[in-house]
Structure 1
């Protein structure tokens, strides 16, 4: 789905923000392998000293794997264990770290008890509802919240985001056509005017756009027309995260120009 026209701002909690969608760590839980929206190994106090020892050479990171590795975790008898560390390299057979060399006696039977992990960790599951090319912010149908204290699993809470839905009007081509064909060009008498107005808006649980403000304006008549036409969009995307509605602010540039007047004026 092409949404290049739009930029959105996210209100994030404690998740670290990265410029590129990340290769996630993996969690094996009750026979299922889940993605992790966290990197528990980074909670180790001495993680920096581990980083260059993992694969016998300096780890080369990438925008999709800033940490240079992908860790595998397993919950066994309500306890979290580190069971593998793989390189993020593009080699056919990715190097695998020797946990015994890294952790010494703490590594038993090929796994390491993750007693340093005290955190709430999200593992998404089900259908991907919305892709975000940043960090671990893509939205999925369900989110499993694993609550650990010193490596012990206290509880798992499952959040249902299935009420999220996409609107056809958030597609670039559909939105552009709607906006410019619904502008009342007759009230904008100055045909030669070129004005770029940026409107910020958000929608409620029903997908109704109910909050609008001008971030960059031109004049009262142009600003009000921009607000009116955005307010007339029939519906917008609805997002649920952690089972609750997540209001997002979208910035939309609207170009009042002779070319758009010529192409779209009725």
Structure 2
């Protein structure tokens, strides 16, 4: 959108710059240093205390030592490096943003001690506060990003997934984050989905348009099975909002039900995260002309 940069600037100076694309942490795995989109150190800080955007006494945490200046793409003020030893996951280094190629080991040691204190053993920290799945891109020539959240996380077509229980790695497996169904609609490229949804809305036999104007923004949720799981109007989520902006609840319900019916037969291929099917939300804004023509107003 034309105004996106202005919004990002406003967010940055308001000290909540979560809308800017962020640099990843890193994982040392089989002698490779791989970007990973799992902020495990940040999770530790949030569990320990509410730091109100402070780290090492610095507001907004946009640099560790206070000398590098603000960074749109490193709001947390540091990058962490993790490594696997035997069956355990450790934080091995905390570095200044963008210094992965030439960071100072002594400075990293100081940061580790300042954050983790007595949890530091042999210049590393056991990640015993984390249980769950983390992943990183599988090294393959035909690998590619299939989803990006616009800020931080990238989902790759092929990834290596680690199943972790309180820092202990129980399973390492290579996963594919896409299932190509026999009759499924291709969704490797997210940009194409909006047009597919709109075409179905155009084909639908709308009734009562002289009484109900369904020109609105809709968020369509594609479920983990590739079918349409839900349709909502994001601008009207409470009873009060519906009563204030719609003539009747019946009109509101008609538009929601009609959108669901229009999209009900769609079967998409399946997108996954860490090898497990995931839901995905797609914005669709439509406009009905008086002559019955439907326009796609999605930006």
TM-score (norm 2): 0.57
Cα distance between partner residues in 2 of 1:63 and 1:169: 25
Counterpart of 2:97 in structure 1 is 88
From the superposition, tell whether residues 57 and 182 of structure 1 become closer, same or farther in structure 2 (CA, over 3 Å).
Answer: same
Greater relative contact order (Cα < 8 A, sep 6+): 1
C-alpha displacement of 1:50: 7.9
* Whole-angstrom CA distance in 1 between matches of 2:197 and 2:169: 49
Where 1:175 maps in the other structure, the secondary structure is: helix
1:51-87 CA distance string (max 9 Å, x none): 78x8654454434211122222333444555444443
Deviation for aligned residue 1:256: 1.2
Matched, 1:119 2:130: yes
- Assess, with a 3 A threshold, how the Cα gap between structure 1 residues 70 and 253 changes in structure 2: closer, same or farther: same
Does the 8 Å contact 1:197/1:214 carry over to 2?
yes
Aligned equivalent of 1:74: 83
Change (3 A) 1:50 1:124: farther
Give the alignment's Cα RMSD to 1 decimal. 4.5
SS at match of 1:99: helix
Find the counterpart in structure 2 of residue 227 from structure 1. Answer: 260
Aligned residues: 236
- In 2, Cα distance between the equivalents of 1:201 and 1:227? 9
Q: CA deviation at 1:195?
A: 4.3
How far, CA to CA, are the matches of 2:276 and 2:163 in structure 1?
A: 18
What TM-score comes out, normalization by structure 1 length?
Answer: 0.63
Q: 1:22 to 1:74 in 2, by over 3 A?
A: same
Residue 163 of structure 1 is matched in structure 2 by 178
- Find the partner of 1:248 among 280, 283, 293: 280
Distance in 1 separating the partners of 2:129 and 2:294: 61
Residue 6 (structure 1) aligns with? none
Unaligned runs of 5+ in 2: 1-16, 181-185, 237-245
Q: Secondary structure at the match of 1:119?
A: coil
Structure 1's unaligned 5+ residue stretches are 1-16
Q: Is the partner of 2:56 in helix, strand or coil?
A: helix
C-alpha distance 239-87 of structure 1, shift in aligned 2 (>3 A): same
Query: Helix, strand or coil for the counterpart of 1:171?
Result: helix
Paired residues for 1:1-266 under 5 Å: 18-42=18-42, 43=44, 48-49=55-56, 56-58=65-67, 60-88=69-97, 96=104, 98-102=107-111, 112-115=123-126, 117-120=128-131, 122-126=134-138, 127=143, 128-136=145-153, 138=155, 140-145=157-162, 147=164, 149=166, 153-158=168-173, 160-164=175-179, 166-167=186-187, 171=192, 174-175=195-196, 178-179=199-200, 181-184=202-205, 187=207, 190=210, 195-209=214-228, 211-212=230-231, 219=251, 224-232=257-265, 234-236=266-268, 238-258=270-290, 261=293
Whole-angstrom CA distance in 1 between matches of 2:191 and 2:198: 11
